[in-house]
Structures are given as C-alpha cells and as structure tokens.
Amino acid sequence: MLELSLITPEHGSLSVLAIGAHPDDIEIGAGATLLALAESTPGLRVRYVLMTGTAARQLEARTAAETFLPNAELSIELHDLPEGRLPAAWADTKNVLEQVARSFEPDLVVAPSAADAHQDHRTIGEIVPTVFRDQLYLAYEIPKWDGDLGLGRPQVYMPLRADAARRKAELLHKCYPSQQGRDWWDDEVFLGLARLRGMECRAPYAEAFTCTKLVLGSQPLHPRQPRK
C-alpha cells in the first residue's frame, strides 16, 4: 500500500473546497479528515458550500463547519435549493459550483460521489468533475438505508487513531442535535464504518474516498489555463 501526503503547494497554503448536499453530509463523510487538516496545516483555507437545508439545519451546519475546522481560514456558503430535488435543480446546482470556481481555485475538493444512491448526492458528484477539472477530487461516503455507501470499492484512505474517530462521533452529536432521534444516528454506525475502513488500510479506523484521477509529480508539465 502506497502512502502519499498532501503537501503545502507553491503558493504557500493548502486550499480545500468541501461540498455537501445536506447539513451533516460533509462531516459524516470527511469530518475527521477536515479535523486532521485543520490541526496540522498552517494557513489552511477552506470554502464550505452547502446546497440545501432549513434555517435551523443550516445553523447546525455553520456550527459544525466552525467546530470541525478550527484555525482554518473559513468561508461558509449556505444555499436553499430544494432538498431531495437537486436533479430537477441541476442548472442551479451547477451555477452555484461555477460561481465558487470563478472566485476560488482549491487544491483539494471533497464532495459526494457520482455513484451515490441518493439523488442529491449523485447530482453534485456528477457536476463536480465538470467544474473542477484540475483539482484533486475525493468523493466521500455517507451510510444510509440504501446500503450503497456511495463508493463501491474505495481507493483512498485517511487513517485515524481511535481517539480521532471517537472525537468525530462526539462532534457529530454535539453539532447536529436535531438528528439524534434517528435510528441510524449513533456511534455504532459512525465507528463501525470507520473501523471497517481502518481494517482495509491497516489502521485502527479510517475515512475512505474514491478518486477517479490523480496526477503524481512535483511540477506541473503544463500550467493551468485561466478560467474564462
């Protein structure tokens, strides 16, 4: 198994775009990864973009973004596109992401997978590669009743210590109290999935992602073209 590291780019600070369809998507799928980056990457810049959510749920999401990304230079965008109907709001969803791309060029994008069974997640996952063509795109997984995990077979893992995995679960409960009555919202789900992914990469726990394209090299062969 080959280990790679996210290194600080030439411009001096790592930039991350975190995209979610619903409040709690980002933290369930990549919360521990964002925590690790925020705590270990000086000058980390993060754009946090959420597509749907009621005012109360968006307030939870804002709290979660600030909690999971301490010390990061954080920009939060909360949109109110129709939950469960993003395929019908495809143009609006793409417009949101294109507007982000015109003002922010991230090194890393974390977002739902195009293989996710949930229509909102899947719509974002289909659009992201058409807007962010030169960025590393890691698609996260979200456990749910559909049983798909959104991934199939992951290729990228973020190993976690036991305390980091438990901290993620604790913060999910703290930041999203509205979800605690749901029958799937518990430590066994969050830690069980993380333990399984950890087993797959020989770690106590892990978050897993799919990645359709990854370019290795210290210097780009061709400079990025300016966005028109």
| CATH code where residue 74 lies | 3.40.50.10320
Average confidence (pLDDT) over 57-80:
97
pLDDT band at 228 (very low <50, low <70, confident <90, very high): low
pLDDT tens per residue across span 105-134 = 999 999 999 999 999 999 999 999 999 999
**pLDDT value for 214:** 83
Measured CA angle at 148 (ends 144, 154), to 5 deg: 115
Say what the pLDDT of residue 149 is.
72
Q: What is the pLDDT of residue 24?
A: 97
Residue 223 lies in a domain: no
User: Does the pLDDT at position 10 exceed 70?
Assistant: no
153-162 residue pLDDT tens = 899 999 999 9
pLDDT band of residue 141 (cuts 50, 70, 90) is very high
147-201 pLDDT, tens digit per residue, is 887 567 899 999 999 999 999 999 999 999 999 989 999 999 999 999 999 999 9
Does residue 82 sit within a domain? yes
Domain count, the chain: 1
pLDDT of 3: 75
pLDDT value, residue 87: 98
3-state class of 126 per DSSP?
helix
Q: Is residue 219 domain-resident?
A: no
Please check whether residue 114 is in contact with residue 151, taking contact to mean a CB–CB distance below 8 angstroms.
no
The answer to whether residue 29 is domain-embedded is yes
Domain membership of residue 215 (yes or no) is no
Report yes or no on 78 lying in a domain. Answer: yes
CB distance 13 to 105 below 8 Å: no
Query: pLDDT tier at 69 (50, 70, 90 boundaries)?
Result: very high
3 within some domain:
no
The predicted model gives 38-44 an average pLDDT of: 92
Give the domain extent around 50: 15-210
Which residue in 179, 185, 203, 174 sits closest to 33, CA to CA?
203
- Structure confidence at residue 225 (pLDDT): 57
The answer to whether residue 1 is domain-embedded is: no
Phi, psi of 145 (to 5 degrees): -60, -30
pTM of the model: 0.92
pLDDT at position 6 is: 74
